[in-house]
Structure 1
Amino acid sequence: MSRTAAVEKELMKAILQGDYPAGSQLETERELAATYQIGRPAIREVLQRLGHGGWLSLRKGQRAVVNDYWFEGNSTTIVDIIEYFDEVPDAFVLYFLEMRVALTPHYVKSALKLHQPKVVGLLAEFDELPDTAQAFASYDWKIQKGLARLSGNPLFSLVLNSFDSAYEKIAIKYFESAFRRRASLDYYGELMEAALRGDSRQAEEIARAMMEKSYALWKDELSPHEKIGVKFSFADMQ
């Protein structure tokens, strides 16, 4: 890892741990350069990258301001958060599953309306899946991205693409449960039946029901503390 990348990770860690709360300012470029023992051009590069990632707001001639990354971040922020943790926080998985409730039924319906044979082909391998979390994670991501691509709306693919480097961590964590793997097999089978009939509306309802079930199954496993509110403290998890 380059020195600038290491400094970028250190600053990100400090933000996630609450050392720099939302709305606070970082030290000046000169002070940061002295702290991390790198040149000011390198510090400026780090700050610009954190700015592009949604972590900071930058104004010429002023110190960088720390963003509320949940509400002012972007897709890069999502990936940064996931990659920071060796183990994905349970609450973050819940957020991801809730997002799928909103998106998945729409691109499933559109994909089947536009490309029925391709959807059938995409689903064809579900009954040959090895019963492992890794196999289910890989297959599910293939299905999700394939259906989004076939929906005709490129924004669905762009949203999912932002999770490319993070999805496997999330999905493996979800599919560690044999019960959740069986539930997903049932879902793939029902979706295949609807696809063979060309029933896009039924496929939409099947997808919505499964996404809601996945959300509920995961939420049931969270502690009472994690279920409270929309946000949770990364600092409490260190």
Structure 2
Amino acid sequence: MNRTASVEKELIKAILQGEYLAGSQIETERELAAIYDIGRPAIREILQRLSHGGWLTLRKGQRAVVNDYWYGGNITTIVDIIEYFDQVPDAFVLYFLELRIALTPQYVKKAVKLNHPKVVGLLSESDELPDTPEVFASYDWKVQKKLARLSENPLFTLVLNSFEPAYVKMAMKYFESSFRRDASLNYYRKLMAVALKGDDQQAEELAHAMMEKSYTLWSNQLSSDEKIGVRFRFDDIL
């Protein structure tokens, strides 16, 4: 990891650990350059990236202000958080599964409506999947990206692309269970049968039911504390 990336990671870690509270100001460029022994142009670049990632609000001629990243952040913030964990928090996987309930059925429906032969070809690959979490995680990511692309709505693809650094990491945790792997395999096969008929409405209903089931399967393994623990104890994890 180069020095600039290392400093960026240190600043994000400091925010996650509460060393910089939401609404507080961080040090000036000059002070940060001295603290991290790095040039001011590099500090300025780091602050710009943290601003784009939703971590900071920059104000000309004034110190940067720390955002409440849960409410002032964006997709980049989510990816940043997950990338700084060796293990993705279980509750975070739950939040992502909940997001998929709203998102996935829409691009599945359009993909089947517009490109159902290609959907069939994609899903036919599930017949020969080795039964391992790694393979299922990689294949499911491939399925989601291609279905989004086949929906011919580029916004679906852009949203998924934002999760690329984190998706397989989260999917690996989900597919550790052989029961969940079997449930997904059954879903791929049912969706392929529906796609063969070109029935986009049924495809949407099937996808929605599976996303709800995935959420429930994961939710059932979490304790009450994990489900309500929106603000993780970052100091115990990082």
* TM-score normalised to structure 2 length: 0.96
- Most deviating of 21-30 and 88-97: 21-30
Provide structure 1 residue ranges, at least 5 long, that are not aligned to the other structure.
none
Q: CA deviation at 1:41?
A: 2.0
Where does residue 151 of structure 2 map in the other structure?
151
Paired amino acid for 1:13: K
1:37-76 matches, cutoff 5 A? 37-76=37-76
Is residue 201 of structure 1 aligned with residue 201 of structure 2? yes
- 1:168-222 deviation per Cα after TM superposition (whole angstroms, max 9, x unaligned): 1011111010010010011111111111111111111110010001011111111
Where does residue 78 of structure 2 map in the other structure?
78
Is residue 162 of structure 1 aligned with residue 162 of structure 2? yes
Paired amino acid for 1:42: A
Where does residue 34 of structure 1 map in the other structure?
34
- 1:98-125 deviation per Cα after TM superposition (whole angstroms, max 9, x unaligned): 1100001111111111111111111111
Cα distance in structure 1, aligned partners of 2:120 and 2:185:
15
Is residue 183 of structure 1 aligned with residue 167 of structure 2? no
Aligned 8 A contact 1:195 1:203 in 2: yes
Aligned 8 A contact 2:85 2:237 in 1: no
Q: CA deviation at 1:75?
A: 2.3
Q: CA deviation at 1:11?
A: 0.4
CA RMSD, Structure 1 to Structure 2 (Å): 1.3
Where does residue 21 of structure 1 map in the other structure?
21
Aligned 8 A contact 2:91 2:230 in 1: no
Where does residue 220 of structure 2 map in the other structure?
220
Aligned 8 A contact 1:17 1:235 in 2: yes
* TM-score normalised to structure 1 length: 0.96
Where does residue 104 of structure 2 map in the other structure?
104
Where does residue 125 of structure 2 map in the other structure?
125
Where does residue 113 of structure 1 map in the other structure?
113
- Most deviating of 67-76 and 127-136: 67-76
Cα distance in structure 2, aligned partners of 1:83 and 1:4:
16
SS across alignment from 1:9: helix
Paired amino acid for 2:171: A
SS across alignment from 2:87: coil
Number of residue pairs matched by the alignment: 238
SS across alignment from 1:115: helix
Aligned 8 A contact 1:78 1:162 in 2: no
Cα distance in structure 2, aligned partners of 1:43 and 1:128:
50
Paired amino acid for 2:205: E
Where does residue 211 of structure 1 map in the other structure?
211
Provide structure 2 residue ranges, at least 5 long, that are not aligned to the other structure.
none
Identity %: 75
Cα distance in structure 1, aligned partners of 2:89 and 2:192:
32
Paired amino acid for 1:170: M
SS across alignment from 2:38: coil
Cα distance in structure 2, aligned partners of 1:66 and 1:158:
27
